[in-house]
Every structure is written in C-alpha cells, then in structure tokens.
Chains A and B, each alone.
Chain A
C-alpha cells in the first residue's frame, strides 16, 4: 500500500447521492482477480452515460473526488475501493459514507474525508465552475485546501480522521503487523473468553 501524506491533484465533482458499490463496480465483474486491475471497471455502466464526469477531458488525472451523501453504500465489495485506487484516486470527500466502504478505503491507501453536506455542495459547485482545479489534501495537518488566491467557493477545510487509521495510512501499512505484535495479549484474552463461554 502506498504511503499517504499530501495529495495535490485535480478534483472531480460527482453530483449523486447514495452512490452504491454496485454502481462503482457492477457485480458481474467481482470475479476478476485483484491483480488484473479494476481501472476500466470503475462506474462501468454509468460512465457511458452522457455528461458523466469521469471521462471528461478536464478531469483527466483527477485523484480527488468530491461526492455527495452516503457514498459507497451497499455491498461490502472491496473492489469499489480497488477500482477508485486503480483509476488514480487517493481521496474521496463526501458528507457521509457507507460504513464498510469507508473502512475498506483505508486498507487500500484511499482516504475518505467527511466534510459537512453544505460544504461538499459548495466545493462541487466551485469545481463545476472551475473544472480541473487542484485541491491539496494534507493528511498530517488534516486539511483540504483550495487554490491560493481563488476564493470562488474554495478555502481551507479541516477534517477529522481516526488516529489509528491516520497513523497506518501515513505509514502505508495495514493493521496486521500491529495485531500480530499483540499476540500475547490476544492469547491471554482468548483464554479468559474460553473459560467464560466454553461453548463458543
């Protein structure tokens, strides 16, 4: 997993609420092995519709998506995060996320950022007026910053992120190493658990 620090990249607005993981990756592609890549599968059915922003020339190379409420709801398929990462995305900003998608993102070096609904709407509108604008996402500082000197709806926004997730994302690691280092603690806990609930 690629370590994450600061991403300075084009941002693409996506004006859709409740984007479910079936839209991100239709189920008929789930069998594909991870190593085959999922870039062309991202929004497979939607991206063919006129006006869908993903393949617009102005968004070529975008690594940040500014989305709407309940992004990534539905199925637990991690393929949704794979497809975003394989397409070059490192950040999705939205008012809220599906829980499992939110968690899956961190495991793949993709940072989901929650900003207030009104703020996400302003950012999407600003990006629509200024296509191809860069945003700077600074994970250590926990900020999203618009282009310097351009006020048109851009500014500096702070976001919250769970400390453990932040630590691991910056290190480019998943939790396995940390957990394996706790083996003795886990073993002790399991002994007590088995004594209290021996039928499990």
Chain B
C-alpha cells in the first residue's frame, strides 16, 4: 500500500511532468488565467516569436484597469489604462484564448469568474499572474500566483518550473462560527494567529467542521487570503458542496463526463494519516467579527477588542511595528475597535464581491442609511445581474451606496478608484498595506456585513448589534 497522501500531494504528483534529481519539478498547468496586467508577458512571447502553446486552457478577462463607472472602453478616462484593456482584447484575438471582454456580461474579476464559469475545477493546477489566484483552491484546485516572467513561460509551454515541492500546512478550525461571524472573520482570525509569514513556502489545507459547513463562496474568501498569511496556496477538499456548486456551469464537465469527473474528484481529499509539515488548530466558536487596525493583515482584532498599546508589546521590534502602524493609521493605543471612525466604505474585490457577500451586506443595509460615501462593486457582470434580479441594487442605492460596474476597483486602485489621504476606509478587500488604496489611505479590512455596519454608523461597529435590531 502506498503512503497516505494529502490533497496537495495528489494534485502535485498528477501534474509533475519532470522531477530532476536536484528536486526541481516541471508542473503541467491545468488552467492559465489572465488579466489586463499581462502585457509584459505577451511582449516576451512576441519578442521570442513563440506562439501561445495551449489556447484551450487559457482564459482571460480585464479587471484591474477597467472603469467601475461604466462597462465600456470609453468610460476608461486615461489612454494608458484603455491601452491595457484593449491590448488584452487584441492579444486574445491574435492568440485565440477565451476572453470575457468589456461588454460581455461574463466579464469581471478573474478570481470571481473562474469559479462562476466552472473554469476552476478540483484536482487541477491553476496559475495566474496575480497573488490572489489562491482563491481557486476553494474548489480543491492547487492554484497560485506567479510573476510576469512565469506567465510568459506558461503562455509558451503550459508548464511551470518549481525549484522544489512546497511544504504543507493544515489549518483546522473546529466547532462552529457564531451568528454574524463569516468566512472573512475566520481567515482574519487565522492570519492574526499565524502571522503574515506563517504560511511562507507552504500550501495550506483548510480542514475541520467550520470549512466543511462553509459555502463555496465562503471558502473562496478564505483561500483568497492565503497569500496574506504568506502561503503559496490555500485549498479545501472538494465535497458534495463543491460538486453541487459546479454542476451545470458552462465550462464544467457535462453528462457522462460529469459523472466520471465527480468519481475522480471523490478520491482527492487527503487520506487519513496524510502527513503535513505543520498543523494549527483554532476554535471556531471563539472567533468574533474582525477588523484590522494596522497596516498588515495580521494587525487584526475582534471588534469587541481594542487597538494594541505598543508599550505592552513583548519586543522592541514589535513595539516599533505597532507604533509605526498606529501613526500611519492615526489611531491611539488602547482605543476600542468600535471607536475607530470610518469615512468611506468599499464592498467588492476578489475577496468579497460575490452574490452571497452582496446579499449579506444588503440584509444589514435594509432600511438603514449610510453616513459616509459607500460603494458596492459586484465581482462580475453575472453577479451584478443576479443581484439586480434580487433587488439588492435597490437596497444598496436606497441606503446611499453607489452601485457600480464589475472590476478590482478600490482594492488596489490601479484603475484610479482611490481612497483619499487620511481617510479611513472600511474595505472588504484583502490588503491594508501602507498606501495600498492610495497614498495615505487608511484601510480597515473586514467582512461585507461589518463594512455595511460601518457604513450606517460611521465607525467600526459590531454587526451583531445591528442584526439584533439596534438602529
């Protein structure tokens, strides 16, 4: 009998084309995803006069540089941004890969439309020139972000060199998330626990009852932020939820092939006794709604907690890091989390712009009014359409939100959707780095429901209080 294998081991083995004696591995890429920041990689291909090797397994959409004010090229105000979006469409025509362009209702954030279209499948390798490619692990794929040179290599060969097999880490969350506690809170609690380098060099498998009970969209939010713990990838074993989510999606297998695929997918979960290089366990019952106070995703606290006091930090280095973060964020040591003012709200990004996110936020906003400028940016044209069919756009608009067109928007701000200097933004995105949402911008990461609560109160607020009926 062979040694017990993890989900990660099984996918790795299935895709290792060549393993060199020095440990370097050439991996086959099952799906290659592209966005409008891929110009450098195509330029490389042209310079070397190489064709796109595997157009059938290459999919793209513009997301980073598109306008969220209008869903067309003309709405993009600046020529350099228009050129990137139109350049991508031109590359799609020239090289023949599947492209969900502007005006196509399927266009949206690449990490939203991969699962939505059934392009993301269990048991395959997936790469994209974007660190949040880890999202796709939610369906049991091994998915990770790569740089522009690696994108070029995948375009030319549909393979990727890895100098060695990454280590593995299993994160178990036991118990059950409480009312008002979401997938976003779970991943922020995990990152607060293991740190932004806690997963470096590792592939994380999220396991245990909390993830078993979690929707696929929740798992996407969790796996999305694996990179914020430094991890190469994050994944959840495929199960009946996964199969139900994928069935009937346009690029998922159909008919007899579907049955065959599901039978194979059932063999993917980690074997009993599979070895992991590291293991961490959290108690899901103890996780509360979270928000970040600082300039790293690990600077996260329960909403019931307080901003840390650097004086109480255990080391000089930590003291300095906290003091510097608080200085940038304009916060005082020891102030309560729910006293942090919020001047702006962004609900969107590949972390939290799916239909469940919008439904959850809308449920909080129903009958309430935002006190600050607030945006809802659906993750794809199809998410937007679905939300509109459910009347969610009206809830957002009635609450004073702007209801915008799909794209990455204010998460990285490369399309020009920026937060002003000094402004505290409650954001459902994934990074609160210094200047991430614009020079001087003060980002507070949180879930869509927490962001909705912050919008209607003007400060960080425990959404459970609003859910319990407080005005």
Contacts and interface: CB of A to CB of B under 8 A. Distances in A.
Given A164-B161, A176-B153, A76 B131 contact: yes
A62 interface: no
Interface stretch (B14-22, B278-286, B392-400): B14-22
Nearest to A104: B147
Interface of B is mostly: loop
B147 to A, nearest CB: 4
Contacts of A74: 131, 227, 431, 433
A103 B30 contact: no
A79 to B, nearest CB: 8
Interface residues of A, number: 52
A103 B152 CA distance: 14
Interface in B198-252: 200-201, 227, 230, 232
Contact of B23 (A162, A174, A180, A200): A162
Given A27-B412, A186-B157, A45 B439 contact: yes
A103 B151 CA distance: 12
B329 interface: no
B5 to A, nearest CB: 16
Nearest to B80: A31
Contact of A69 (B20, B147, B197, B260): B197
A78 interface: yes
Contact of A103 (B65, B84, B150, B438): B150
A163 B22 contact: yes
B123 to A, nearest CB: 7
A128 B84 CA distance: 43
Contact of A26 (B40, B232, B439): B439
A74 B296 CA distance: 10
Interface in A72-128: 73-78, 81, 96-100, 103-104, 107-108
Contacts of B344: none
Given A23-B434, A27-B414, A162-B163, A76 B264 contact: no
Nearest to A161: B163
Interface string A17-34: 110101100111011011
Interface string B30-53: 100000010110010000101000
Contacts of A33: 39-40
B114 interface: no
A22 B15 CA distance: 32
A23 B296 CA distance: 12
A193 B158 CA distance: 13
B157 A99 contact: no
Q: Which of A28, A108, A198, A199 has the most CB of B within 10 A?
A: A199
Given A23-B434, A78-B147, A189-B28, A179 B131 contact: no
B17 to A, nearest CB: 5
B26 interface: yes
Interface in A137-179: 162-165, 174-176, 178-179
Contacts of B57: 200
A184 B28 CA distance: 14
B169 to A, nearest CB: 13
Contact of A76 (B147, B197, B260, B261): B147
A100 B128 CA distance: 12
Interface in A38-89: 45, 69-70, 73-78, 81
A99 B26 contact: no
Given A18-B196, A73-B196, A163 B435 contact: no
19 contacts: A22-B435, A27-B413, A27-B436, A28-B413, A45-B435, A75-B130, A96-B200, A99-B232, A100-B131, A104-B147, A162-B24, A174-B149, A176-B48, A179-B159, A179-B161, A182-B18, A186-B17, A190-B28, A190-B158
In the A-B complex, the 9 residue pairs with the smallest Cβ-Cβ separation, listed nearest first, are A199-B253, A107-B149, A104-B147, A162-B163, A78-B147, A163-B22, A78-B148, A76-B145, A164-B24
